[in-house]
Amino acid sequence: MENRLKELRELAVSHRLKRLSENLINDMKRLYKELKIDYEPRWFAISHFLIENKSASINELSKATGYTHPAVIQIVEQMIKNKLIETSKSINDKRKRKLVLSLKGTEIFNSIHPIISDIEESIKEINKEAGYDILNIIESFENTLKEKSLYERTILKVKKRQFDAVEVFRYSPSYKEYFINLNSEWLQKYFEVEKVDLKILSNPETEIIDKGGEIFFARYENEIVGTCAAIKLDNENFELAKLGVTEKAQGKQIGRKLVLAVIGFAYARGAKAVVLETAKNLIKAINLYESLGFKYIPDFHKSTYKRPTFWMKLDLR
């Protein structure tokens, strides 16, 4: 197992840091037990803050120690159970508890001072033998994560990989059924397929292609999973319409790549803007449009749909 973790390197960093932390804490527990001191290492940060500040709320302890709110509550409850902390209501806000170290808590904290100094010296000794100041390394690591977390760094890579894996291509008559089925799926889920929908879906060539527009499809993992149309309204405006991504393929950057294909198509044909008509319950789609710069516009055109809609616009020039 040890060799396997070393082989995994970056992929095992969280496990190895957790194990290192657990080993250090277990050593301190063993030390307190051998010295017959009824004290837990995880109580130290809260004890220290209460000694320095005399009293504090749960929120103040959470901010000061970096522990989560639930973690602070758990530690405090343990310390109350062991009669190391006493509580009272805040003078300014009766809903808040003020926490103070009890006489017992203060006495125990003061009694472990020499041991804390010994632990500190031991850690300095470990740093010297290892050839690294682990505290500086941890602080640097933490500050770097604050600037951009592991999640933020990784999700960008995931989205780019997904985006690159989507193949977008243009309409041909053999793909007509995909245009109908992919749009019928979301229309039936959120609304109903209206006559105006059927007119466009059943006649994509006469309603879109022959009028100077285009229909795009997306293929992901060898399956056609999405579609979107660019409908020419006039020489200055194209409408982004009939964006549909099958439910099982959503969240994989397919809608984004289709919308960008429509924007690029409109721009290449000299359009000044791309507009779209959407509805407030299409939350994911609206978030996508906003992320790409679309803005709400009032009364662009009177809607031909029964369902309540509104317009958004992206200026291209």
Q: Which fold has domain 2-152?
A: Arc Repressor Mutant, subunit A (1.10.10)
Sort 101 into a burial class: Cβ within 10 Å, 0-12 / 13-18 / 19+: buried
> Is the pLDDT at 239 greater than 70, yes or no?
yes
pLDDT tens, residue by residue, 103-148 = 999 999 999 988 989 999 998 999 899 888 888 888 898 899 999 9
Q: Are the C-beta atoms of residues 84 and 47 closer than 8 Å to each other?
A: yes
Q: What is the DSSP string of 135-147?
A: HHHHHHHHHHHHH
Q: Are the C-beta atoms of residues 215 and 227 closer than 8 Å to each other?
A: yes
Which amino acid is present at 291?
S
* Alpha carbon distance 229, 240 (integer Å): 6
> Is the pLDDT at 96 greater than 80, yes or no?
no
Please state the rounded mean pLDDT for residues 167-174: 97
Confidence bin at 4 (pLDDT 50/70/90):
low
Sort 105 into a burial class: Cβ within 10 Å, 0-12 / 13-18 / 19+: buried
What is the strand order of the sheet 273-278 is part of? 167-170, 214-220, 223-232, 237-245, 273-278, 310-315, 295-297
Q: What is the CATH number of domain 165-315?
A: 3.40.630.30
Q: What percent of the chain has pLDDT over 70?
A: 94
Domain extents for the chain? 2-152, 165-315
* Alpha carbon distance 245, 260 (integer Å): 14
Q: What is the DSSP string of 57-118?
A: -HHHHHHHH---HHHHHHHHHHHHHTT-EEEEE-SS-TTSEEEEE-HHHHHHHHHTHHHHHH
User: For strand 97-101 and strand 85-89, is the pairing parallel, antiparallel, or unpaired?
Assistant: antiparallel
User: For strand 97-101 and strand 214-220, is the pairing parallel, antiparallel, or unpaired?
Assistant: unpaired
Q: What percent of the chain has pLDDT over 90?
A: 77
Predicted local confidence at residue 94, as pLDDT? 57
pLDDT tens, residue by residue, 262-309 = 999 999 999 999 999 999 999 999 999 999 999 999 877 788 999 999
- Residue among 259, 299, 231 at smallest CA distance from 310: 299
* Alpha carbon distance 241, 279 (integer Å): 12
Report in angstroms the alpha-carbon separations of 285 from 91, 191, 230, 297: 49, 15, 16, 16
